[in-house]
Chain A
Amino acid sequence: MAERTRESFVVVGQSVRKVDGVGLVKGKPKFVADVDLSNVLHIKILGSPHAHARIVRIDTSAAAQIPDVVAILTHENTPSTRHTTAGQGYPEPSPYDARMFDTKVRFIGDRVAAVAAETAAAAEEALRAIRVTYEQLPAVLSIDEARAEGAPVIHDEADSTGIYEAARNVVADVDIDVGDVERGFTESDVVIEATCETQYAQHTPVETHVVHSYLDSDDRLVLRTSTQVPFHVRRIVAQTLGIPIQRIRVIKPRVGGGFGTKQEVLLEDIAGWVTLQTGRAAFISLSRAEEFVAARTRHPMRVRVKLGAKKDGVLHAIEMEATSNTGAYGAHGLTVLANTGSKTLPLYNKAKNAHFYGQAVYTNLPVPGAYRGYGATQGYFPLETAMDELAERLGLDPIELRRRNHIRAGETSPIFEKLGEGREGVSQTVKSCELEQCIAVGAERIGWREKRGTQRREGPWVHGVGMSIMMQGSGIPQIDMAAATIKMNEDGSFNLLVGATDIGTGSDTILAQIAAEVLGVPVSRMIVTSSDTDLTPFDVGAYASSTTYVSGMAVQRAAEKVREQILSVAVPMLKASVEDLRLAGEHVVGSGGARVSLAEVCRRAMYSSDQFQIAATASCVPTESPPPFLANFAEVAVDLETGRVKVVHYVATVDCGVAINPLMAEGQMEGAIVNGIGYALSEEMLISSTGRVRNPSLFDYKIPGALDVPNLEVILVGSYEPTGPMGAKSVGEIGINGPIPTIANAIYDAVGIRLRRTPFTPERVLTALEGERRRKGER
């Protein structure tokens, strides 16, 4: 077979329409809630009013008397199996510290009971009639309180497992060394240290968590759920409810956004239990307020970075120490913490000495989980602002400092091997990296040379520019697994069956493009079925920037097997040898120009001669995780009177290998960056002194709207990743890491203040400006 090159692609690299797009723009019933709900039981959950309390007694007798109430679930009548809600590979690296309903509540909004009723109104009325007696316990409301001597123990139960040190509220502890970091700092000419804190922030998919459950005609439990991880849902629900995996079918319809919060089994156990107990179809959907309080968030962190460099601007030592608040449960606690180091430190592989140390601690606060960026976002804030400071101390342009230190193709970092997804990592050499080009193109586009250091004034607004660079990964090496099945139909069309989970990312489309490329057909000839545990092969799901790289490779391999089968059928038809045949334009074409259509080939295989089903399944377990690379440049304006920060222009230049569908790759970047801008400037879950979320609405928790986004340019700087399908790497997460450090560095360029805590609200900016004025006045 001829080597594939970027130039030879026919379908890959084209911005074809989404395969599910027409139905979506017409508003067809594609989502979980879009079915007839006239005969379902409506489920509502009673959330805890206390941050930390034991349930002494639950009296449901009055609630049970309310008409139309069918079932009431509490810790007294549901399975008590400890599990994790984190939808990760098995065995999960998160502790088994959750129960369906526990005898203790650990944050405001934690599950106390649930009611299933004929109407939503009856279920809500019943919740109000449940009488709960609590024994309140002292609450832990910050990472400092969690680590204090004699702090209340949040997980004091005997049956939880996988917690690093429950008695001290420590969920996870990570400590890795390369070289000798202390000596590294001693040998350095310049040392910079910065500590940054990030806030509670939420994913806010426009569709909240929603599940529809029913028994099929064979009494199997069907869960139609808005999830990123259908196969993990099946496994974890089986474990939690104590029923065989075989009895459960999970179907993922279209999903209205995930971003990590749906990599979690939040409602499926309750809906499944109600359906199993009552035999009735059930429906549960979180209200927006419940989503804010009881769904997942990003892990708030305090991260300290220390950099040591020689006079020539080459890093000699890097230390990163992270403390992560993992809330009331430890879902993703270890792995997000580990990724704070593992997805950031390899970027600066010139440093011979490195140390990463971190702990994740429990608090009686909302529960963080997976969130796009997965710890790297929290790590890049101090790392990239410290690099900005280091450049200043060394008298170097920040771009030049990056150039002297960042990893390049053909290079490796010991961190790849030392630090992985909550355990040892996998050593790898970077094979594709166009970061230099990304930096050059972005700097040119933003006007770096003309604008940097000019502090241009426009009334009360002062302009500045900042930059940052970063990497992420493509899947979890030697852990993630994806499989794909392709079968052929006698009209020359193909079914593509993938466990891969399209949550709006467009993966159904790009996977169809990869298969179509191999099979020599347009995308319109691929019928995509994804994420149905009865129909499609296994895939870990949509997380860790894995789908394009891992699932894409499984699809490519399956397509190549099918291609071989097609050619073998065509050999006698064209009286040619296999080596002379290729697939193109829905035909098998011989070297002399003889051709036979795919439809004819399949009809022969199905009906006439040596019959068999042309079909194949293939899997992929990646052996490495090639990083995509990103350079960010922002021009901001800071209002000296109000402290408001406005992003005027944002340029993101990304190397994601070959973009299978360029418009969709840009879309991933644009969405991630705008989410990151919200994270940098406005988004913050405000929490009261008792642990209550004070702003659980999209009115009070401000995510960017169309008027809030800057002139945003995403530029795809192509490379070819030799280990990827069609040269591709991932692009799903990396963009969200950019805005915080880039905007922080641009603010410094404009007005000379270093902001260490997100979001950069007008209040925080004004306070910092006043501090800076005082400091200057004192001099």
Chain B
Amino acid sequence: MTSRKLTINGVRRTVDASPGDTLLEVLRREGYVGVKKGCGSGDCGACTVLLDGRAVNACLVLTAKAEGKVIVTIEGLAKGDALHPIQAAFLDEGAVQCGYCTPGMVLSAYDLLSRNPAPSEGEIREAISGNLCRCTGYVKQIRAIQAAAEQMRGGRNG
């Protein structure tokens, strides 16, 4: 085990990790269980987190590689009781069914909207194409991300 210094959701933490431990394993072990495991091979996107602001599959990132970087998990998105507009839109548009892929999908959307506040439908599809969902047909997630983008633009202007 080696000590690794990680910044998780704005908090600097020292965690123990074996050389082969992925960020997915370490984050879950440290209690960030909103980071889900669906495949362990980068195919499903359930373990998506933000690494220096970009959505990555935590199952493909060795913990050592995340040292010194800023990690955001789904637990870091809401401010207290106030949901992030993407989270609220997912609920209001019916985009959540079982909710297992939701954290990853929300963070992929967050990454997209932070770079592109007014994405086209095609850009939204592209951004969440690495997040597999078996319950929905993606229709409502796409609508939710559009609604969230609109609200976030409105918030920024107002």
Residue numbers in A under 8 Å from B55 (CB-CB): none
Task: Pick the contact of A698: B39, B83, B126 (CB < 8 A).
Answer: B39
Residue numbers in B under 8 Å from A79 (CB-CB): none
Task: Pick the contact of B74: A20, A21, A27 (CB < 8 A).
Answer: A27
Docked CA distance A28–B101 (Å): 13
As a 0/1 sequence over residues 10 to 31 of chain A, the CB contacts with chain B under 8 angstroms (1 = contact) are 0000010110111011111111
Residue numbers in B under 8 Å from A31 (CB-CB): 33, 36, 100
As a 0/1 sequence over residues 36 to 51 of chain B, the CB contacts with chain A under 8 angstroms (1 = contact) are 1111110110100000
Do A25 and B96 touch (CB < 8 A)? yes
Do B44 and A254 touch (CB < 8 A)? no
Instruction: Scan residues 48-86 of chain B and give those whose CB is less than 8 A from a CB of chain A.
Output: 73-75, 77-78, 83
As a 0/1 sequence over residues 79 to 121 of chain B, the CB contacts with chain A under 8 angstroms (1 = contact) are 0000100011011111011111111001000000000000000
Closest 5 CB pairs of A and B: A27-B34, A504-B98, A256-B100, A24-B99, A670-B137
B156 at the interface (CB under 8 A from A): no
For chain A, give the interface size range. Answer: 35 or more
Docked CA distance A22–B103 (Å): 12
User: 24 interchain pairs (CB within 8 A)?
Assistant: A20-B99, A21-B99, A22-B91, A24-B96, A24-B102, A30-B99, A206-B101, A206-B134, A207-B38, A207-B98, A254-B99, A254-B100, A256-B100, A256-B101, A288-B38, A288-B41, A504-B100, A664-B94, A667-B94, A670-B137, A671-B134, A698-B41, A699-B43, A709-B137
A140 at the interface (CB under 8 A from B): no
A184 at the interface (CB under 8 A from B): no
Do A671 and B74 touch (CB < 8 A)? no
- Closest chain A residue, CB of each to CB of B87: A25
Given A203-B134, A671-B137, A699-B41, verify A503-B129 contact (CB < 8 Å): no
Docked CA distance A714–B138 (Å): 13
Task: Pick the contact of B94: A15, A203, A254, A705 (CB < 8 A).
Answer: A15
Residue numbers in B under 8 Å from A28 (CB-CB): 34
Docked CA distance A41–B131 (Å): 31
Do A504 and B73 touch (CB < 8 A)? no
B40 CB, min distance to chain A CBs, angstroms:
7
Most buried by B among A21, A38, A505, A506: A21
Do A206 and B125 touch (CB < 8 A)? no
A-B contact count (CB 8 A): 168
B6 at the interface (CB under 8 A from A): no
Given A206-B38, A698-B39, verify A255-B98 contact (CB < 8 Å): yes
Instruction: Scan residues 24-45 of chain A and give those whose CB is less than 8 A from a CB of chain B.
Output: 24-31, 33-34, 38
Residue numbers in B under 8 Å from A699 (CB-CB): 41, 43
Instruction: Scan residues 416-471 of chain A and give those whose CB is less than 8 A from a CB of chain B.
Output: none
Residue numbers in A under 8 Å from B36 (CB-CB): 31, 206-207, 256
- Closest chain A residue, CB of each to CB of B34: A27
Do A504 and B40 touch (CB < 8 A)? no
A676 CB, min distance to chain B CBs, angstroms:
10
A44 CB, min distance to chain B CBs, angstroms:
14
Docked CA distance A255–B140 (Å): 20
Do B132 and A703 touch (CB < 8 A)? yes
- Closest chain A residue, CB of each to CB of B28: A33
A205 at the interface (CB under 8 A from B): yes
Residue numbers in B under 8 Å from A670 (CB-CB): 136-140
Do A18 and B39 touch (CB < 8 A)? no
Given A207-B38, A709-B137, verify A698-B132 contact (CB < 8 Å): yes
B35 at the interface (CB under 8 A from A): yes
Do A25 and B90 touch (CB < 8 A)? yes
- Closest chain A residue, CB of each to CB of B138: A706
Task: Pick the contact of B93: A29, A203, A663 (CB < 8 A).
Answer: A663
A150 CB, min distance to chain B CBs, angstroms:
42
Residue numbers in A under 8 Å from B139 (CB-CB): 666, 670, 709, 712, 714
- Closest chain B residue, CB of each to CB of A665: B94
Most buried by B among A256, A259, A287, A706: A706
A367 CB, min distance to chain B CBs, angstroms:
20
Do B40 and A287 touch (CB < 8 A)? yes
Residue numbers in B under 8 Å from A712 (CB-CB): 137, 139
- Closest chain A residue, CB of each to CB of B99: A24
Given A25-B83, A25-B90, A671-B137, verify A706-B74 contact (CB < 8 Å): no
A204 at the interface (CB under 8 A from B): yes
Given A206-B132, A670-B139, A674-B137, verify A25-B98 contact (CB < 8 Å): no
Docked CA distance A257–B101 (Å): 10
Residue numbers in B under 8 Å from A17 (CB-CB): 91-92
Do A707 and B129 touch (CB < 8 A)? yes
Docked CA distance A345–B138 (Å): 32
A675 at the interface (CB under 8 A from B): yes
Do A25 and B91 touch (CB < 8 A)? yes
